[in-house]
Structure 1
Amino acid sequence: MKEFKTLKILDHFRKAFEKMGVDYDLMRRILQVKFVMDGRKVPVVIGNAKKKDQETENGFIKSLWIYVLMGIINVVLVMMNESYIFQMSLVFGITMFMVMTSLISDFSSVMLDVKDKNLILSKPVNNITLNMAKMIHIVVYLFFITMALVGPALVAAVIRHGVMFFLLFFAEIILLDFFIVALTALLYLGILRFFDGEKLKDIINYVQIGLSMVITIGYQLIGRLFNFIDLNITFQPKWWQYFVIPTWFGAPFEVLLRGDLNIHYIIFSMFALVVPILSIFLYIKLIPVFERNLQKLNNHNGRNRRSKEKLVSWIAAIVCSTKEERSFFHFASKMVKNEREFKLRVYPTLGFAFIFPFIFLANGMRDGGFERIASSNAYFNIYFCALFLPTVVLMMRYSANYKGAWIYKVMPINELESVFKGTLKAFLVNLLLPLYVFECIIFIWIFGVRIFPDLIAVLLNIYIYTVICFKAFKKELPFTRAFQTGQQGTGGAVFLLMLLLGILGGIHFLSKWIPFGIYIYIIVALLINAVLWRTAFKISWETLVE
């Protein structure tokens, strides 16, 4: 079996692990197997990997260059010399955002894995050894991701600011990684204490959306910690800044390297040191409790879902025109709601789609105030909720249960139009429509009922955009591909489709300059929708991707 350099480095800490009650040789072998298996996975960030490459190369290692590119902005920030707390808060904000996002998308399944208990603990392996292997497994990969993000910035730091800056930066990166792992695990533990079975799995997905949104909002808040006056950066302490975690890690640079003993900087610095250490010790202490509660993921209660099924049937009767289409609407709705891995991949994306319109709206409010925004055309920001629709449409083809695709061959399917239309309508009704309706309520509260016709026009544009996204990608039957097969050659198409959304929004905006233009636009959009939804799904079996 392949020998990994990471394990050789870990060998130097053998005695420390053994003092903690860990069977080091067994832990090392478990980690070795896990690293080999990880080489066969494709991280979400490199969905365009080719299948033949996956069999010969470590997909995770291949993904690191993308993180290096994303981390170039950190180099620019570190090279600044105006305000350490400003530049380093931004660096740690960007790093925390990317690492936490990677943890949510690629490593939640590792953290919440219950198979190890059944497979490994049936052998002579103790709990401490297995739990420590799981923790190291996650931390090692997050450390690689973090180093890819901040590695160039660390080089820039030692050149621009010297060795002490570099050492402090490196130490805080380690603390940040441990804090992220512990924080996520403790959050999951809090949920595990009160829920079980299918309900728990749903809550975990919602928490992952919430984490994505909180991190995104926090990233936006970092820039609002500071005021720019004549190009000079000034820090004005507020009570809420104590909840912006990246600020904790930016403050020690001011205290230790510039000798600024501002009481707020000192408190932030204490948080940066004490909170990660306490959280990791708390996590280690609660690992047995965490693992016991993880077994709840195997429980399935027999809840009566008749009321929900009646609602789905009622909606299907409204939006679907044929019995066959309604059948696939039901099928896709159940897949969207019940398949855990699918939700792990898609739901965080929906979280970003939800929060982005409000982020851009908040930027406008900061510059012009609420009253000026309410009388403006800033409600066009709601188009950002559809920005991630190409990714969601693309994910329609993937499933953890893709081996069940044989069912398409044995079902009496006369034509494929009902398959794709029913599935796509289920995606819109279950994923996008609730999000859009909620945002419309908030936007109407901000801008007034005057925008109601525009919201109708936006929804019609989104329906047009959905069909265009579907037509842009190669045609595959829904839920027939494994997630690991990747999304080969789709990056450019997704980018162009995002630009197309802007064009649709621009045409909508221009229509407002014509008398009764918005109403004319709604009529035209209705006609375009009718034509597209009637003609775009006439697909033959021969045109499908094998």
Structure 2
Amino acid sequence: MQDYRTLKLLDRFEKVFISFGVDYKIMRRILQVKLTMDGRRVPTIFSQNAKKKDKENNNQYIKSLWIYVLFSLFMIPFVLMGKNYLFQMSLFYGVFTFFVMTSMISDFSSVLLDIRDRNILFPKPVDRKTISTAKMVHVVIYLSFLTIALVSIPLIVGLVKNGFLFSLVSIVNIILIDLMIVGLTALIYFFFLRFFDGEKLKDVINYVQIGLSLMIMVGYQLLVRSFQFIDLAVSLEPQWWQVFIFPMWYGAITEMMMNGAFHPFYLFFSVLGILIPLLSIWIYMKFNHAFEQNLQKLTYHGKAKVNKHSKIGHLFLRVICHSNEERAFFRFASSKMKNERDFKLKVYPSLGFSVVIPFFLMMNGFDTNLSNLSTSKSYLTIYFSLIIIPTIMILLKFSGKYKGAWIYRVAPIQQLKPIFSGTIKAFIFKLYLPVYLLLSAVFIAIFGVRVLPDLIVVFLNACTYAVICFMILKKSIPFSESFDQYNQNSNGALVFGLMLFVALFAGLHFVGTLFSYGVYLYMVIAIICLATLWKLAFNITWEKIIG
């Protein structure tokens, strides 16, 4: 096995590990094996473009760090903005935290929750502390690579512009943020393992990844709105909820050290920024033994779920699906969308974005006065919820269990139409409609019942848009391809082109609002277009799929 440079660097701290009761030689050997195995694991951010030969011969995580270096270039303006360090560095640490936390959960959860150590090493004469320390050092090694890739260039720029003290404070803050992320992530997993089984934890990891994407987007808005721009100067009005925006803790530390602003509010933030990371790591180390014991729950896969169909649901299904085959594939697609974690991980964040984007656009680009807002046409921002449809339509052909696609060939079906129509109906009614109903309820509360016809038109256009995307995109049997192939052929330009249809729908809708009964006329046209396209779209043969 290769003797890695990181291990040679770690050798300089051998006495430190020994002083804590760790068998360093065994820990080093464990890490060497782990690093070798990592060469065969492709990180989430880079998995789509890695070739098989590269996977076998190189550590894909190290090779993927160039993309984080590219992301770091977008952080440089925060360092160069001026001397309001609370504002600019809060943004800087917020962006940094986003990249580290997403990578931590997507790529390092498998390391923290690795139970192979228990199965392979626990029966051997290896100290438990040595095993757990090897696991933590393993995470720290890769987290260090990620951190260096993200902050090296911005900190060099900051050193030139703001001096040595700025860089020193920034490095300390970044270390504290890394400690907090590792500690809190492990404690969250420990909490759920303590009270739930392994299947629940896997679901939790999935929803944490989804929720994190939404929280970062909402947190960014709150962070920016914590500051007021007056005559191009930035001012902060302290609010109680700012305590929970932890990038501001480290912005406050930088503000105090660089500008000498020792206000009580900044002091309180600084105490939180130092205390919380150290406390989270201490708690994790304190309960590490219990954490390792509870990891055994990950081997439990839970009881099989029994699907119950209500009479109302059965009646609804008979109304929207006109044949037994279509109903069967509707149920099949609904089950895949509901239960497959890989699919939910890629799709659910997009659905979440479609909920929050219209409101952010109203806040940023339209009247924020509620009285003016309620009489405006800002409800047309709901069209931005449609932009996620092309991406999800592409994802409908992928699955983690794609090898089971042979079932389509042996199923007693005469044509492919019910497969596609049932799947798209499942997407519309099971994924998009709940999100749209939530948006509609909020929009009706803001704009009144007067927008109800407009909301119906938007939903009809959303259904039409889904059919148009299906007609234009490359045809493939639903859930029949591996996620490893996702984005292998770039779909960015095609998705962007499809988004122009959203602008077309919204533009026509706006024109319709200029006339007395324009919206109702547009509704009739939308129904006719949807019915016509639906009849034409799904006449697909096996030859077209194979071709």
TM surpasses 0.5: yes
Task: Tell me the residue number matched to 1:8.
Answer: 8
Give CA-to-partner distance per residue, 1:504-541, whole Å, 9 cap, x none: 22222222123311112122222222222222223332
Structure 1 residues 137-536: aligned runs within 5 Å: 137-302=138-303, 305-308=306-309, 313-363=314-364, 368-488=368-488, 489-536=490-537
1:354–1:385 CA contact under 8 A, matched in 2? yes
Report the Cα distance in structure 2 between the residues aligned to 1:330 and 1:32, rounded to whole angstroms. 47
2:42–2:50 CA contact under 8 A, matched in 1? no
SS in structure 1 opposite 2:516? coil
Report the Cα distance in structure 2 between the residues aligned to 1:105 and 1:224, rounded to whole angstroms. 29
Structure 1 residue 157 displacement after superposition: 0.6
For the aligned residue pairs, the C-alpha RMSD in angstroms reads 2.8
Q: Gapped runs of 5+ residues in structure 1?
A: none
SS in structure 2 opposite 1:321? coil
SS in structure 2 opposite 1:467? helix
SS in structure 1 opposite 2:195? coil
1:249–1:269 CA contact under 8 A, matched in 2? yes
1:74 aligns with 2:84: no
Report the Cα distance in structure 1 between the residues aligned to 2:395 and 2:443, rounded to whole angstroms. 29
Summarize the Cα distance change of 1:197–1:66 in structure 2 as closer, same or farther, 3 Å threshold. closer
2:420–2:478 CA contact under 8 A, matched in 1? yes
- 175-184 or 193-202, larger mean C-alpha shift: 193-202
Summarize the Cα distance change of 1:368–1:98 in structure 2 as closer, same or farther, 3 Å threshold. same
Summarize the Cα distance change of 1:207–1:425 in structure 2 as closer, same or farther, 3 Å threshold. same
Question: Which amino acid is 2:409 matched to?
Answer: K
Summarize the Cα distance change of 1:197–1:148 in structure 2 as closer, same or farther, 3 Å threshold. closer
Structure 1 residue 250 displacement after superposition: 0.6
Identical pairs, percent: 47
Summarize the Cα distance change of 1:154–1:58 in structure 2 as closer, same or farther, 3 Å threshold. same
Summarize the Cα distance change of 1:407–1:490 in structure 2 as closer, same or farther, 3 Å threshold. same
Summarize the Cα distance change of 1:427–1:241 in structure 2 as closer, same or farther, 3 Å threshold. same
Report the Cα distance in structure 2 between the residues aligned to 1:75 and 1:328, rounded to whole angstroms. 50
Higher RCO (C-alpha under 8 Å, 6+ residues apart): 1
1:46–1:63 CA contact under 8 A, matched in 2? yes
1:88–1:250 CA contact under 8 A, matched in 2? yes
1:47–1:487 CA contact under 8 A, matched in 2? no
- 415-424 or 227-236, larger mean C-alpha shift: 415-424
- Number of residue pairs matched by the alignment: 545
SS in structure 1 opposite 2:308? helix
Structure 1 residue 313 displacement after superposition: 4.4
Give CA-to-partner distance per residue, 1:482-522, whole Å, 9 cap, x none: 22333121222233333443332222222212331111212
Structure 1 residue 109 displacement after superposition: 4.2
- 213-222 or 47-56, larger mean C-alpha shift: 47-56
Structure 1 residue 212 displacement after superposition: 2.4
Structure 1 residue 178 displacement after superposition: 2.0
Structure 1 residues 81-96: aligned runs within 5 Å: 81-96=82-97
Report the Cα distance in structure 1 between the residues aligned to 2:130 and 2:455, rounded to whole angstroms. 56
Larger Rg: 2
1:508–1:521 CA contact under 8 A, matched in 2? yes
Query: What's the TM-score, normalizing by structure 1?
Result: 0.91
1:112–1:294 CA contact under 8 A, matched in 2? yes
Question: Which amino acid is 1:375 matched to?
Answer: T
Summarize the Cα distance change of 1:466–1:263 in structure 2 as closer, same or farther, 3 Å threshold. same
1:316–1:330 CA contact under 8 A, matched in 2? no
2:111–2:139 CA contact under 8 A, matched in 1? yes
